[in-house]
Structure 1
C-alpha cells in the first residue's frame, strides 16, 4: 500500500499526529469533545481514573475510565476549521499506521459526542435547556472541499437555500444527519436542526459596528420547515462534525446547552451551571 507523504500527514518527532499530539493508544474509541479547553476537566473530574493527559495549543486530551469503560474527552477550540483538524487527526491516529504511513485494512469506528453551547432560534426553546442535533446545517462551506457521495442531504439543503434566498456569493448551505445509533441513545432531549456558522458576529446575525449582509437571517431560519424538521439553534461546529464523521465512518452527535435565545433575546444568568448539568 502506498505511503502517505510527509506533507499530507504531518507527524511530531514522537510519531504522533501533529496538532493533537496523540497516537492510537492515547485516545479511547468513545470520545466527548468540547470547545473550551477548561471544560475538559469539568468532564474528566467525573472519571474514576485519568491515565493520559496531553496538551498542545487549544487541544487538551484526557483519557481514563468512567463506569468501567475507557473514555476520552478532548477540547477542539472554536469553529469548523478546528473540527477539520480534530476529526481528521483522530481518524489518522486510529486508522493509519503512523510508522509506515499506510491506511489500516481494518478500520476503527469512533463514537464522538460534542457537548457544546448555543443560542436558540425558536421561541418555545427555553434558556438553560438542552437540544440534540438531528442534523447539522452548515454555512461554513467545509464539506464542499471534500469529495463525497450520499452524505449531504441534497433535498433538504436545496429547500433551505430556496427558502432563505441564500446569497450566491456565500458558500452553499449543506445539511448532514446525525448518527442514528447515537440519536437513539438520548431520546430524553428535544431535537432539531443545529445551524453552524463560520463566525460569531455577522455570520450569526449579530451587529456591532459592521452591518451583516443578511439582515433577516434569524427569521429565515426560524421559519424553515422540511418534512417535520425545523432549525432550533445556532453554533459553530456541528455541520463539520457530522460531515467528516460520516465521510470517515464514525458515529457523531451534538448535544448543546441553550445559553441564549436569539428570538426572545433572553440570556442565561449562569451558563456554567447549565453546562455542568449537561455533563452530568
Structure 2
C-alpha cells in the first residue's frame, strides 16, 4: 500500500504541520509572526522557506493560520494559488496597508475592499471574453462589516486600486483613479480575488490607511504596528 506523499511545494513546506481552511495574509512575514505570537494559542510554524513565515494555531478555539505573502500581485498570486490548490484553504483574508487617495479618508482608517480595480495584466490568463469585475467574497465582506459595527469601528467599504506600480513615472495616474471613486491604493488584492474566484473560494482584503498620498501624510513604522491592531482583530474574528 502506497503512503501518500506529504503536501508541499517549492515555496511552502509544512513538514506535516496543518494549514487551516482560514488564513490571514499580511504582506510582511514578520507581521505574521507578530499575529501568531500575540493572538494565537498552540502555535505551530508551518513555513519558513524564503523567509515567508507561516503559522497555525487557535483563536477563541477556532483553527486559524497566518502567513506572509510578500509584495505585489506576482507574490500574492503564487502563495494564494498554492494555499488554495495544494493545501485546501477556503477563506483567504489579506490584511495590509494602503495609501488613501480620497479626501474623506484619514490615517488609521480601515477599508474593506469590496472591489479591486487594477493595472495588472494578471487576469489575461483566464481568457474571459470581456472585462471581468474583480470583487471580494460577499460572505466575508458582510461578516467583516458586522464585526466592525459590533466593535464600534468605522470602516469604509468600496473600490480600491491594486497596482503593480509603486513608483509611477506618470504623476497624474492616481488623480484619475481618484476621480473614479477609488478609495486607496495597494498592491495585492486583485491577484488574490482572481485566484479565489477561479477556484470558487472566499477572499477579502482588509486595509489600514498608512499614508495619504495627496496630503503627504504617513504613519511611522512604530505607529503602523500599533494602529493595525483594529484591522487584525476584525480579520481574526472571521475565523
Report TM bin, short chain.
0.7 to 0.9
The change in CA–CA distance for 1:49 and 1:150 in structure 2 (over 3 A counts) is farther
- SS of the residue corresponding to residue 241 of structure 1 reads helix
Map of 2:164 onto structure 1: 198
Q: Which residue of 2 aligns with 1:273?
A: 226
The 5 A counterparts of 1:3-152 are 15-22=7-14, 26-45=18-37, 46-94=39-87, 108=88, 110-148=90-128, 152=132
Whether 2:197 is the aligned partner of 1:249: answer no
- The answer as to whether partners of 2:83 and 2:89 remain within 8 angstroms in 1 is no
Per-residue CA deviation, residues 125-157 of structure 1 (Å, 9 max, x unaligned), is 01111111001111111111233579922xxxx
Higher helix share: 2
User: CA offset at residue 279 of structure 1?
Assistant: 1.6
User: Contact 1:127–1:261 at 8 Å: present in 2 too?
Assistant: yes
Give the secondary-structure state (helix, strand or coil) at the position aligned to 1:128: coil
What secondary structure, in the 3-state scheme, does the structure 1 residue paired with 2:144 have?
coil
**Is the alpha carbon distance of 1:32 and 1:24 closer, same or farther for their aligned partners in structure 2, counting shifts above 3 Å?**
farther
TM-score, structure 1 as length reference: 0.72
Residue ranges of structure 1 left out of the alignment (5+ in a row): 1-12, 95-107, 154-175, 203-211, 225-229
Decide whether aligned partners of structure 1 residues 250 and 267 sit closer, same or farther in structure 2, where only a CA change above 3 A counts. same
User: Alignment partner of 2:99: what SS?
Assistant: strand
Sort the Cα spacing of 1:62 and 1:109 in 2 relative to 1 into closer, same or farther, 3 A.
closer
Deviation at 1:257, TM superposition (A): 0.8
What secondary structure sits across from 1:177 in the alignment?
A: coil
Report the 3-state secondary structure (helix = DSSP H, G, I; strand = E; otherwise coil) of the residue aligned with 2:86: helix
Number of aligned residues: 218
Q: Which shows bigger deviation, 182-191 or 111-120?
A: 182-191
The answer to whether residue 180 in structure 2 is matched with residue 180 in structure 1 is no
TM-superposition CA deviations, 1:75-111 (whole Å, max 9, x none)? 00111001121122112323xxxxxxxxxxxxx5601
Confirm or deny: 8 A CA contact 2:73 2:188 kept in the other structure.
yes
CA distance in 1 between counterparts of 2:210 and 2:124 reads 30
Scaled by the length of structure 2, what TM-score is found? 0.84
1:189-209 per-position Cα deviation (integer Å, ceiling 9, x unaligned): 21121101113111xxxxxxx
**Structure 2 unaligned blocks of 5 or more:** 149-154, 234-239
Contact 2:99 2:211 in 1 (8 A): yes
Return the alpha-carbon distance in structure 1 between the equivalents of residues 179 and 210 of structure 2: 21
Structure 1 residue runs of 4 or more that deviate by more than 6 Å after TM superposition: none
